[in-house]
Structure 1
Amino acid sequence: MASVNEPAEDREDRIEKVTKPHDLGEFYLNTRTGEIEEGKVSGSLNRMGPYPSREAAAEAYEKAANRNEAWDEADKAWNADE
């Protein structure tokens, strides 16, 4: 373990690199532009994800629309039972 008294240049070769999201293969859908981005390029207000692949990110809107439709149907069924 490096001592805090060691000069930084002596410790630098032992410092582990931090893995960034794009190194992990995370993809996001930019909801403003419709573009697929690798890593957290856009702000969180304009981003859906993460997704494991570009293809999964490209299908994000369709999946969200299908889920919303299913939830709307479930709400209608729930309210009809009251």
Structure 2
Amino acid sequence: MAADTEHQFWYNMRTGEVEQGFQSASIDRVGPFATHVEATHALEKLRANSAKWSEDDARDNQ
């Protein structure tokens, strides 16, 4: 089953705006997110994921 990209939200890293559906180039956007609110918090989620991955890598390299 294909994702319903028309009803998903994306965070545009270049403009800082939330978009619904494919409105900008893929290089500029992150997502998809199920809601506008989730997309609004995209940078927080990316930072949290990055921190977790760094912790995991440090633990794996001990």
**Consecutive unaligned residues in structure 2, runs of 5 or more:** none
Q: Greater strand percent: which structure?
A: 2
Q: Is the 8 A contact 2:5 2:22 kept in 1?
A: no
Distance in 1 of aligned mates of 2:5 and 2:10: 14
Conserved in 1, the CA contact under 8 Å of 2:11 and 2:30? yes
The number of aligned residues is 59
TM-score normalised to structure 1 length: 0.66
RMSD (Å) for aligned C-alpha atoms: 1.6
Report the TM-score, using the length of structure 2 for normalisation. Answer: 0.84
Aligned to 1:50: 32
| Structure 1 runs of 4+ with >3 Å offset | none
Identity %: 36
User: For residues 26-48 of structure 1, what are the alpha-carbon distances to aligned partners after superposition, in whole Å with 9 as ceiling and x for unaligned?
Assistant: 11100101100111100000011
Unaligned 5+ runs, structure 1: 1-18
Q: Which has the larger radius of gyration?
A: 1
1:78 aligns with 2:54: no
What displacement does 1:67 show? 0.9
